């Protein structure tokens, strides 16, 4: 069991910011509270990054299931923090921070370990880094798509269980969504190509055509079709949101699902 205190600090920071946002969800947050939220998230990101470095690169390269989830959560919060600087996406705190708080504390249990002997290989590290960034971009895009769903229902005065104080214009949110998906699609393409062409150098064995590969390619096709539909036919609104969520679910089944079964359920 790791020292829980720094993990609890990150957990409390993320939850406190989200809770303060929810507490003031009936009124628009003032600029002072928004600056405080941004500063607290910055502190949380710094401590979270330090913890990730310790558990992943401490003795051996350890990308166990919980470490991987924590890394994706960190990257997702970082992407949110950067996007919020320009687009004022404070409502996304309600979606991004609570799960990030949970995932950030999981590595403290040391429940799953997956030591990789190829940590010194630049190609291997590049493959893993690009893959994690791609998954994080699609995670952010999924949260953003959920926010768009709520914003669209609010715009048409439809009932919704979640009420948030403010949204950027839907056109701005939609443009950002497709920029994030485009970047994620490019990185996912690089991940798949590097995995196929350099599988033996990266993993020490030839490329295997298994459920992980099938779901990864299926998610790539979904996101590719979504981008094609956007630029060729102007897809937007609920159609774009549904395709985004479908692609993300396939991606979860491809990587997160397989690691969960192997490491947590089967203990391999």
Whether residue 257 has pLDDT greater than 70: no
- Bigger pLDDT: 71 vs 172: 71
Given this model, what pLDDT does residue 29 score?
52
| 8 Å CB contact between 238 and 206 | no
List pLDDT tens digits, range 68-111: 899 999 999 999 999 988 877 888 888 899 999 999 999 988 76
List pLDDT tens digits, range 117-143: 655 677 778 888 999 999 999 999 999
Given this model, what pLDDT does residue 18 score?
87
| Average pLDDT score, the chain | 82
Q: Report the candidate in 14, 140, 158 with the shortest Cα–Cα distance to residue 87.
A: 140
List pLDDT tens digits, range 185-233: 999 999 888 877 766 665 566 666 677 788 889 999 999 999 999 999 8
Q: 266: pLDDT confidence band, cut at 50, 70 and 90?
A: very low
- Bigger pLDDT: 19 vs 161: 19
Given this model, what pLDDT does residue 263 score?
47
Percent of the chain with pLDDT over 90: 40
Q: 149: pLDDT confidence band, cut at 50, 70 and 90?
A: confident
Using the CB atoms, write b or e for 136-171: b if 16+ within 10 Å: bbbbbbbbbbbbbbbbbebeeeeeeeeebeebbeee
Given this model, what pLDDT does residue 115 score?
60
Three-state secondary structure string covering 188-199 = HHHHHHHHHHCH
Given this model, what pLDDT does residue 189 score?
95
List pLDDT tens digits, range 238-251: 899 999 999 999 99
């Amino acid at each position: 069991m790791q020292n829980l205190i720094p993990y609890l600090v990150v957990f409390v920071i993320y939850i406190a910011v989200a809770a303060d946002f929810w507490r003031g969800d009936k009124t628009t947050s003032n600029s002072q509270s928004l600056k405080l939220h941004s500063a607290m998230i910055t502190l949380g990101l710094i401590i979270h990054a330090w913890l990730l470095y310790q558990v992943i690169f401490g003795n051996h390269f350890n990308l166990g299931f919980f470490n991987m989830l924590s890394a994706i959560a960190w990257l997702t919060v970082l992407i949110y923090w950067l996007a919020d600087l320009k687009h004022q996406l404070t409502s996304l705190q309600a979606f991004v921070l609570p799960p990030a708080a949970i995932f950030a504390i999981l590595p403290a249990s040391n429940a799953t370990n997956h030591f990789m002997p190829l940590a010194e290989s630049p190609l291997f590290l590049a493959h893993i880094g690009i893959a994690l960034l791609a998954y994080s971009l699609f995670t952010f895009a999924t949260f953003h798509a959920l926010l768009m769903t709520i914003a669209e229902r609010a715009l048409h005065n439809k009932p919704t269980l979640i009420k948030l104080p403010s949204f950027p214009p839907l056109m701005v949110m939609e443009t950002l969504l497709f920029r994030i998906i485009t970047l994620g699609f490019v990185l996912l393409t690089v991940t798949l190509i590097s995995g196929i062409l350099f599988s033996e150098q990266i993993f020490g064995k030839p490329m295997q055509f298994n459920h992980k590969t099938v779901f990864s390619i299926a998610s790539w096709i979904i996101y590719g079709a979504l981008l094609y539909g956007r630029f060729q036919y102007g897809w937007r609104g609920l159609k774009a949101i549904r395709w985004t969520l479908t692609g993300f679910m396939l991606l979860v089944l491809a990587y997160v699902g397989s690691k969960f079964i192997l490491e947590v359920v089967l203990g391999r």
